[in-house]
Structure 1
Amino acid sequence: FLQTEGFVALEGVYRIRAGSQIEESSDDPVPDDDVVGHDTSVQSSRDNVHLYDFHIVYSFSYKVPVLYFQGLQAGGQLLTLDEIKKDLPPHSLQLLNESKWTFITREEHPHLSRPWFTLHPCGTSDWMKLLLHKLGDKDRSLQYLPAWLSVAGQAVGLKIPLKLYCSS
């Protein structure tokens, strides 16, 4: 994660559509050198690759972090919400469908002034209190962001590295 202009960014996360052997990678799974125009099987695998950007922005009105995200096709076109949902693992779809705390909306990114998808922050404060209620003030402040990201990230299929918890 990089801190950039008032938000934290994780950008360039490759995701390959369901049915593929590779689920996520930060390296280009199909280098441009390997794409052959007349080979439709290679080209179609390139079309199944989507690039995702995730931004964490603090909401002063809700007083919680908010996860903004967008997906792009290999050609640079923005993905629709339906296309994004097709990229999500089953447990993420289940979380979005069943949880009253987690739903996706489209809002203007506060620092980029462009519409991005976001996990709506309306229930975040309540579920974070439930998640961290047994921790003391110092531990709560140290564990807040990793705990929040473990829940918010799950909803959009973002895998959180274990060392994020260990370094907190």
Structure 2
Amino acid sequence: MSQSTIPRSVFNQNIIEIYEKSIKLGDTWQLIKVNEDVYYLEKKDQKFINNEILTLIFHIIYSESYNVPVLYLNMFKSNGSIAKYNDIYSFFNLNNLKNEERDSDLILTQQEHPILFKPFYYMHPCKTSQWMSATKIGENDNFNFTLKWLSFVFSALRIPLDIKYAL
């Protein structure tokens, strides 16, 4: 089975489409233009859990190394501190995953954000090409690659994504 990747130009077009759909749906994705070639999506959300307001920040960024989208995320507590690794896994209910699932498909690690140069958690893109090639309908699969990827990633993290994005 062939690997599935996309060039930056396709990624940029994909996220512009997601952003435009977000506006129509009343969702909160923002299109961030770093320069004329580098764009990414940002979404901020707040949750009230255990008497604490948690602020979640999601970034969809293009990986130059893997030629696929990558999810970067951060979660801040009410006092402004960044949530720890165990807090992230607990919040997304990933603690119940078997060790082999945790190690292979949902690798969340902390590293420097490639644009903001701040610590963020990210889902490693090493398996993305495999996932996406398994979903190809045919050579002319023209569905928005980044949206399809986002639906997998958000589903894995149990984050709702409005089905109307696919329409």
Gaps of 5+ in 1: 18-43
* 1:52 lines up with 2:56 in the alignment: yes
* 1:144 lines up with 2:138 in the alignment: no
Count of residues in Structure 1 that have an aligned counterpart in Structure 2: 132
**Deviation digits for residues 107-139 of structure 1, max 9, x if unmatched?**
11111011100000011111110012x234352
Q: Which has the larger radius of gyration?
A: 1
Measured in 1, the distance between the counterparts of 2:98 and 2:30 equals: 27
* 1:14 lines up with 2:17 in the alignment: no
Percent identity (aligned): 27
Contact 1:93 / 1:155 at 8 angstroms: preserved in 2? no
The alignment's TM-score, normalised by the length of structure 1, stands at 0.70
Measured in 2, the distance between the counterparts of 1:50 and 1:111 equals: 23
Measured in 2, the distance between the counterparts of 1:96 and 1:105 equals: 17
Structure-2 residue corresponding to 1:104: 108
* 1:163 lines up with 2:164 in the alignment: yes
Measured in 1, the distance between the counterparts of 2:98 and 2:48 equals: 20
- Residue 113 (structure 1) aligned to one of 107, 117, 132: 117
Q: 1:119 to 1:149 in 2, by over 3 A?
A: same
**Deviation digits for residues 69-109 of structure 1, max 9, x if unmatched?**
000001211100111122124xx555685262221111111
SS at match of 2:125: coil
Runs of 4 or more consecutive aligned structure 1 residues displaced over 6 Å after TM superposition = none
Q: 1:93 to 1:163 in 2, by over 3 A?
A: farther
Cα root mean square deviation, aligned:
2.0
Q: CA deviation at 1:143?
A: 3.0
Gaps of 5+ in 2: 1-28
Match runs of 1:7-46 below 5 Å: 7-11=40-44, 13-17=45-49, 45=51
- Residue 80 (structure 1) aligned to one of 79, 84, 89: 84
**Larger relative CO (CA 8 A, sep 6+): 1 or 2?**
2
The alignment's TM-score, normalised by the length of structure 2, stands at 0.71
